[in-house]
């Protein structure tokens, strides 16, 4: 089969025509079957565009529920992100894994071991996300999820009863592997079970789960802040066992992604999976809708095979997928760049700004609450205003706020200025959680080709982790009073990086709102398509001389 793409200009709006024509002489049965498949795919596309939010919630409650269950795995990664750095300040933890400072009776963990423990989980994450690209393609989401949960349950005990700091590091590294699996699996699964109108909501729930994990970690640590003895640091590790116990039994009944079943040629199983994810007034209607949905998946899969049959990691950097990988990776990397140095060290930054340790910790708790509330609110914003619009707006506001933090640091460093700087940071963080924080999850789930989704997400998340490691190494030197001691002036550097992010997004980030995966494949395959033209392009489908046209209608 060969696929033709062409562009014509009509009434000031770009139109893209996509048609599939046979390059050989098929039998009548083949022609009839192919025509029926295309017709069902068109009906499914029209249904996706016409379904409203309320209709989708009534029709896809099971898809929403199963996506929410799989996303719960992200809570564990968010929990660990906030856990280790805070434990460094626990006296019981310092006494167990650190060394005594002279004859003072006080203990501390050496800087090299602090860095090693901080890097253990991210390094494991890199291994996990790389493995996920292979494992998910071969076995599917469900078996990999179950295997990850079982292995994590065993590995947590290494952290819990680690006799030395070396064993604790090994535990962090090994636990990071299943956390890495979950980090890319959750957004991939959400993107493959969500209808068009609910995609932004289910992808944003993934980020919200990460925020829940962080907030839960802060709450546990705050309750144990004054506790002495070994369980002051062991209880936070033990709490992690709750999530596999809850999620694994639910995962046993979770349906496999219909997109994965289509990619492996199991079309009947894909229809059964869609039936398990949807609800309809009658069984006959449900089967009809499932058949049409799977037809669109098959059509999309065939189109991507026509573009490129390669599904290796190398394929993500060749042809039309090069741009898609760039968008996925850079958008996720911008999460780090827009908060470079300051965001990952918020508590320390508050202290450097002049707040007491107690006030700094309270500010950190406030950050956890802001993260959760604003992430949930961002789903509606990205659905109503679009991913590109919200991303660009977020970069503009975040840059201005970071520059304000930098300029405040140029004034006299009084307690009032310290609180003012911290207040501006909280506003900055709220805007970040509404825009740049959750949007990469939505963008990554949409911009990646369905056949390369697991690998594209792995590369994108790997980009994020590399920048996060750089941030973790550079930040102490920039903020530490014995080194650069930039304090709030760091906002000038971060503001500059945000401006660069804005420039990239303006020229390279396309609008993916309201597009089916087939439509995105067609637009990315068009040679003369640019990021700014995506929102105006209307797709025309041609089946045996019948052209279905119409202006592009946007949706969440």
CA atoms of 385 and 533, how far apart (whole Å) = 16
pLDDT in tens, 499-545: 999 999 999 999 999 899 999 998 998 878 889 888 888 777 654 43
Fold of 312-525: Growth Hormone; Chain: A; (1.20.1250)
At 2 the pLDDT is: 41
Per-residue pLDDT for 19 more than 70? no
* C-alpha 252: how far from chain center: 24
* C-alpha 106: how far from chain center: 41
pLDDT in tens, 382-392: 878 889 999 99
Mean pLDDT on 130-147: 93
At 253 the pLDDT is: 94
Per-residue pLDDT for 24 more than 60? no
| Residues forming CATH 1.20.1250.20 domain(s) in the chain | 51-254, 312-525
Q: Mean pLDDT across the chain, nearest whole number? A: 84
CA atoms of 247 and 77, how far apart (whole Å) = 14
CA atoms of 177 and 151, how far apart (whole Å) = 9
Global pTM exceeds 0.75:
yes
More confident residue, 539 or 437: 437
Residue for token digits 């393609």? Answer: 137
pLDDT in tens, 107-124: 878 878 887 888 888 889
Say how many residues make up the chain.
556
At 511 the pLDDT is: 94
Mean pLDDT on 20-43: 64
Name the pairing type of β-strands 538-543 and 546-548. antiparallel
Report the candidate in 244, 255, 251, 253 with the shortest Cα–Cα distance to residue 149: 244
Cβ-in-10-Å burial (0-12, 13-18, 19+) of 380 comes to middle
Q: How many CB atoms lie within 10 A of CB 8?
A: 9
Confidence tier at 13 by pLDDT (50, 70, 90) = very low
Phi-psi region of 140 (alpha: psi -120 to 50; beta: other; left: phi over 0): left
14 phi/psi in degrees, rounded to 5: -75, 135
pLDDT in tens, 146-173: 999 999 999 999 999 999 999 999 999 9
The CATH number assigned to the domain with range 51-254 reads 1.20.1250.20
H or E element, residue 179 = helix 165-193
Token code pair at residue 237? 């590790």
Per-residue pLDDT for 489 more than 80? yes
pLDDT in tens, 181-237: 999 999 999 999 999 999 999 998 998 898 888 888 878 887 887 777 888 889 999
For 84, residues 6+ apart whose C-beta sits below 8 A from its C-beta are: 117, 118, 121, 172
Report the candidate in 236, 254, 213, 504 with the shortest Cα–Cα distance to residue 375: 213
Mean pLDDT on 67-83: 89
Per-residue pLDDT for 497 more than 60? yes
């Amino acid at each position: 089969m060969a696929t033709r793409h062409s562009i014509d200009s009509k009434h000031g709006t770009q139109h893209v025509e996509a048609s599939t024509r046979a390059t050989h002489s098929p039998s009548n049965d083949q022609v009839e079957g192919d025509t029926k498949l295309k017709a069902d795919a068109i009906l499914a596309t029209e249904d996706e565009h016409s379904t409203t939010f309320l209709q989708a919630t009534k029709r896809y409650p099971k898809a929403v529920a199963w996506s929410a269950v799989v996303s719960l795995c992200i809570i564990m990664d968010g929990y660990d992100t906030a856990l280790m750095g805070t434990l460094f300040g626990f006296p019981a933890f310092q006494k167990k894994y650190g060394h005594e400072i002279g004859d003072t009776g006080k203990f501390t963990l050496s800087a090299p071991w602090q860095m090693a423990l901080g890097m253990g989980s991210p390094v494991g994450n890199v291994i996990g996300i790389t493995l996920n690209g292979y494992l998910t393609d071969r076995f599917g989401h469900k078996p990999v999820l179950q295997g990850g949960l079982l292995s994590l349950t065993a590995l947590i005990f290494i952290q819990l009863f680690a006799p030395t700091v070396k064993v604790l590091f090994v535990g962090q590294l090994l636990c990071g592997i299943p956390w890495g699996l979950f980090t890319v699996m959750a957004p991939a699964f959400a993107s493959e079970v969500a209808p068009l109108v609910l995609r932004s909501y289910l992808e944003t729930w993934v980020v919200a789960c990460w925020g829940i994990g962080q907030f839960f970690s802060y709450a546990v640590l705050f309750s144990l802040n004054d506790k002495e003895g070994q369980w002051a640091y062991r209880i936070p590790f033990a709490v992690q066992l709750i999530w596999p116990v809850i999620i694994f039994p639910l995962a046993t009944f979770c349906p496999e992604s219909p997109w994965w079943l289509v990619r492996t040629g199991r079309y009947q199983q894909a229809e059964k999976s869609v039936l398990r994810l949807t609800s309809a007034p009658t069984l006959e209607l449900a089967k009809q809708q499932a058949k049409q949905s799977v037809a669109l998946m098959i059509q999309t899969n065939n189109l991507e095979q026509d573009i490129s049959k390669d599904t290796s990691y190398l394929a993500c950097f060749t042809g039309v997928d090069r741009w898609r990988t760039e968008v996925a990776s850079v958008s996720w990397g911008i999460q780090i760049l827009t908060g470079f140095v300051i965001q990952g060290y918020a508590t320390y930054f508050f202290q450097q700004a002049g707040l007491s340790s107690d006030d700094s910790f309270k500010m950190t708790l406030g950050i956890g609450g802001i993260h959760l509330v604003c992430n949930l609110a961002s789903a509606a914003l990205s659905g109503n205003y679009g991913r590109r619009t919200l991303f660009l707006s977020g970069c503009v506001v975040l840059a201005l706020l970071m520059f304000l933090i930098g300029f405040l640091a140029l004034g006299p460093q009084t307690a009032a200025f310290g609180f003012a700087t911290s207040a501006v940071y909280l506003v900055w963080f709220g805007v970040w959680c509404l825009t740049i924080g959750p949007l990469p999850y939505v963008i990554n789930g949409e911009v990646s080709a369905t056949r390369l989704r697991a690998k594209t997400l792995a590369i994108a998340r790997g980009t994020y982790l590399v920048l996060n490691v750089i941030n973790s190494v550079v930040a102490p030197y920039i903020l530490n009073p014995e080194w650069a001691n930039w304090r709030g002036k760091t906002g000038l550097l971060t503001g500059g990086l945000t401006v660069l992010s804005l420039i990239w997004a303006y020229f390279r980030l396309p609008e993916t709102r309201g597009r089916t995966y087939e439509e995105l494949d067609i637009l990315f395959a068009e040679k003369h398509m640019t990021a700014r033209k995506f929102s105006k392009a209307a797709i025309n489908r041609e089946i045996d001389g019948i052209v279905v046209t119409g202006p592009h209608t946007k949706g969440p």
